[in-house]
Chains A and B, each alone.
Chain A
Amino acid sequence: MKKLLFGLSAIALLLGTHTQAEETVDIHSPRGVHPVSGKSIDAVPASVFAGGDTTVFAENNKAFSRPLANISTLSRREHVVGNSFFNKNWVMAPSSTSSRDGLGPMFNARSCSACHMQDGRGCPPEEGEEALSLIMRLSVAGADPHGAPLPHSIYGGQLSERAIPGASPEGQLRITHEEVIALFGDGESTTLRKPTYEIAGLAYGEIGDVLTSPRVAPAVHGMGLLEAIPQATLLAKADPDDADGDGVSGRANLVYDVESGKKVMGRFGWKANQPDMRQQVAAAFCNDIGITSSVFPNENNTAIQNERFGLDKLPNGGEFELDEKVLSRTTSYLQTIAPPARRDWDKPEVMRGETIFSKIGCAECHTPSHQTDDSSPIKELHGQTIFAYTDLLLHDMGDALADGRPDFEATGSEWRTPPLWGIGLQKVVNGHTCFLHDGRARNLNEAILWHGGEGQASTDAYKELNRDDRAALLAFLNSL
């Protein structure tokens, strides 16, 4: 193909600039200039370019759906193929579209984008609605030989709320809320909604004792950059025993890499229980859509469900339902979605909020910046200075947020610091401002107030801020 392109360019040169440009699609963003203000980048804080050269300047509902700004034509083509498999519905087997069949037999959604809408964040259902972008992990006490949570003997590792004809959905998640008052130092108050979960309509028998963890679909932009932060950098920030006595520890999860059979650092998922994007993607295909792959070759139904209800007798999409190439392209797609640039960074209130963010300790875990290394096969990700505002480590977030369900090294009250880039655009992209692992916070103010455990001191400091300073901090967060 190189030869073909060369041949075309040679002819194109003869024909002048128009035809030449027709043959090369170059969509690099102009570096050196800040595209919005037209200012030299020397006059703009580095954090505006949240993903370094990969940053896209987009503020609309597609802000999380843009390929890396510096993407090459060939990477872009891989990206668009992966995008297709991320968006398109999977169909039940057998079908003529053999590379897109094998849905279920039990599933939560028919496509990745059903939950990660516009590549953004999911939200909990309104009371009485069916859950879609919020799933419920299940397990029982103990751990498997690799340290993973022990799946429930009947219902497995995740509640499947949908199924193809011939199988029954496992049950339906029901959420009820209770309002809790939170007081600020200046006498103002707000209410937080505390969710309670139950599972109705269990179709495969009594569930008995079970550990549960509700988790909302996270936004998926910038994942390739997070993956390209050197492990040593992350581990250097870990302080498992709080040796420096600042009340913030930070631990790396140690998880099972299915393909290498080794224990490695976890990076992705609400409890950092997946080592890399490839395994994360394969796990989501299996658990959420019922699509098997070389990484996870078994359907998400359990031996008991097969034995008693014959789920393994239902048609499947063959071995494996997810082609190696499709797994690879979907992974590449997610690795090459750009983080959006910061906005409003030059407003005085936002700049003041940034100072407060550091002063009250938010930046201890929401580490503003990292440098990527050159290890990724995707060259566009190499050597970028990124502003993701995460340390990718586990922190105790206190009892109120605890799910009580250990996940490898993560305890029932530990959660991984989520990245903050793009949070100010979530309203535009997803039409809501729900945050935290189960989306219980209805806005950023509530999200801050839920932080307990290692985050308690910062929450207390936030509560003591006056109204203007609280607004400034929120304005800063909304500029990300």
Chain B
Amino acid sequence: MAIHQTFCLYTLKKGGFSAILGVKLGFACFFLTGCQQSGSSNSTGITPKAVTGEDVVEHYANLVLATYSDALTAAERMRANIEVFCEAPSAGTLTAARDAYINARIPYLQSEVFRFYEGPIDDENGPEGLLNAWPIDEAYIDSVVDAPQAGLINNPAQMPEISPEALLAANEKDGEENISAGYHAIEFLLWGQDLSEEGPGARPASDFVSAPNADRRRAFLLAATDLLVANLQGLVDEWQVKGLNYRQRFLTKPTDEALNNILTGMTMLSGFEMASERLMVAYDTQAQEDEHSCFSDTTHLDVIYDIQGINNVFFGSYTRLDDNETMHGASIYDLLHAADPNLAETLKVITRKSLDAARDIPAPFDQAILGEDDAEGRQKILRSVEVLEAQSERLKQAGEALGLGPIQEVGS
């Protein structure tokens, strides 16, 4: 069995194989190894436990809190690095700030599976648009190629005092105002426009020292980061164990409704958001920058960690930010296993395949979408789309099997 495992990993990672062959062997490998693949996800060796719906809902709330808490911690570290960078801008401090940004995205991406059921992240007043809006109005923020005078940073008359409050006001809720906050705004300030085929954006540290309005650029970066941290803090508060908050309302909902919410988030993220919005759109348009993290060229990580989030919820497990401690608890998988063991096992296989397929997409993503349909990158993206579509259909079936009423997966 160990040999098969090794072979399987090798096959999936070796770029020289055609995608068809790789996928076929991947399938065969899953079959032969009884769905074990070390290092591929945290589902290895998971066996079903006897749980109740209430157990699953409560553990989910713990998992949400842990994920948002990590997103907050990582964002605070990013802020600390950005403060250091702004005090002493240099290539070194800029690199540290960029690294901190990439690390800050990792827990946040895993929290995207908590969207789509009008929880604190995306209810009527939810901060989703302020955290992760895409695309953003770069030219509304700062100068860009062909528009050196553009942006709030270069136009003090439009925003005399740069502060988190001013940024909040400039990002009106219903989206009819320009978009200038969130992770991608910070990403734009740290990397700049991505003008190269091979690498990400290459904004020099001097933009924050000697370039026109360098002081306002530093202020904008700090304000955007402060606003991000404040919004994440708000999410943590809503899921905190104590308090008159959303967590309390969530735990007192009828259990089936809460479970339906949980599965809706997983289904929507898998099908609508990942398969369609993030992958199929870029695959279809082949617009080189039609990717979410276009400044830092980290779109491939977005895909992997978003899908990791679905895995986390399905298995009730989440690996914490620092000590690599993994929390485990009552899961959808456990509950489903009692209702429909075949479907539970099918989903166990698909969740892992979805992660493997995502890891298999070559970076940078903006190059992987190019070429003819038989190009390796395109085949791998399409493979990911197929698995994610199938996963979302199976998650809907899981909702039926658990008697939760229809799980709606639709756009807009």
Interface residues of A in 92-140 (CB under 8 A from B): 92-101, 109-111, 113-114, 117-119, 132
Q: Is the CB of B136 within 8 A of A18?
A: no
Contact B23–A8 (Cβ < 8 Å) = yes
Find out whether the CB atom of B144 lies under 8 angstroms from the CB atom of A94: yes
CB distance from A432 to the nearest CB of B (A): 16
Complex interface: chain A residues within 8 A of B393 (CB): 21, 25, 27
Task: Choose from A23, A80, A95, A162 the contact partner of B176 (Cβ within 8 Å).
Answer: A162
Asked if B44 lies at the interface with its beta carbon under 8 angstroms from chain A, I say no
SS of A interface (majority) = helix
Residues of chain A contacted by B144 (CB below 8 angstroms): 94-95
Q: From A315, which residue of chain B is reached at the shortest CB distance? A: B147
A323 partner residues in chain B, CB cutoff 8 A: 285, 287
Chain A proximity of B256: nearest CB distance (Å): 16
Rounded to whole angstroms, the CA-CA distance of A86 and B27 in the bound complex is 37
Tell me whether B139 and A92 are in contact (CB under 8 A).
yes
What is the total number of residues of chain B having a CB less than 8 Å from a CB of chain A?
64
- What per-residue 1/0 map shows which CB atoms of B126-165 lie under 8 Å from chain A? 0000000111111110001111001000010010000000
CB of A44 within 8 Å of the partner chain: no
Complex contact B389–A99 (CB within 8 A): no
Is there an interface contact between A97 and B390, defined as CB atoms closer than 8 Å? no
Specify which chain A residues have a CB less than 8 angstroms from the CB of B385 in the assembled complex. Answer: 77
Least Cβ–Cβ distance between B28 and chain A, in angstroms: 7
Which residues of chain A are within 8 angstroms of B346 by Cβ–Cβ distance? 18-19, 22
Is residue B55 within 8 Å, beta carbon to beta carbon, of the partner chain? no
Tell whether A83 pairs with B412 under 8 Å between CB atoms, given A25-B389, A98-B289: yes
Shortest Cβ distance from B387 into A: residue: A22
Most buried by A among B134, B137, B389: B137
The smallest C-beta distance from A257 to any residue of chain B, in angstroms, reads 27
How many angstroms between the C-alpha atoms of A12 and B158 in the bound complex? 59
Cα A18 to Cα B175 with chains together (Å): 42
B260 at the interface (CB under 8 A from A): no
- Contact A325–B412 (Cβ < 8 Å): no
Interface residue? B342 (CB, 8 A): yes
B343 closest partner in A (C-beta): A18
Given pairs A81-B276, A97-B289, A117-B412, 15 additional interface contacts (CB within 8 A): A8-B386, A11-B24, A18-B346, A21-B390, A21-B393, A65-B412, A77-B276, A78-B284, A93-B139, A94-B146, A96-B194, A98-B288, A98-B289, A99-B289, A315-B146
A interface vs B, CB < 8 Å? 1, 3-4, 7-8, 11-12, 14-15, 18-19, 21-25, 27, 58, 60, 62, 65-66, 73, 77-78, 80-81, 83-89, 91-101, 109-111, 113-114, 117-119, 132, 162, 164-165, 315, 323, 325-326, 329
24 A-B residue pairings within 8 Å (CB atoms): A7-B24, A11-B24, A18-B345, A19-B346, A22-B346, A22-B350, A73-B389, A77-B284, A81-B280, A83-B276, A83-B411, A87-B411, A87-B412, A89-B133, A89-B179, A91-B140, A92-B137, A93-B139, A94-B146, A97-B290, A109-B176, A164-B178, A323-B287, A329-B285
